[in-house]
Amino acid sequence: MESKNNRLLNNEINLTKLTLIAGAFATLGEGLSTIATALAIEEEEVAAEKQSIELKNELKNLQKQIDTLTKEVRQLRKTLGR
Stated pTM of the model: 0.62
Question: Alpha-carbon dihedral of residues 62, 67, 72, 75, nearest 10 degrees?
Answer: 170
**Which ranges of the chain does DSSP label H, i.e. alpha helix?**
2-80
Q: Give the least confident one: 3-12, 17-26, 51-60, 65-74.
A: 3-12
Alpha-carbon 47 to chain mean position:
9
Rounded distance between C-alpha atoms, residue 42 and residue 63, angstroms = 32
End-to-end CA distance of the chain: 116
Note the pLDDT tens digit of each residue in 55-74.
999 999 999 999 999 999 99
Question: Which amino acid appears at position 8 of this protein?
Answer: L
Note the pLDDT tens digit of each residue in 37-51.
999 999 999 999 999
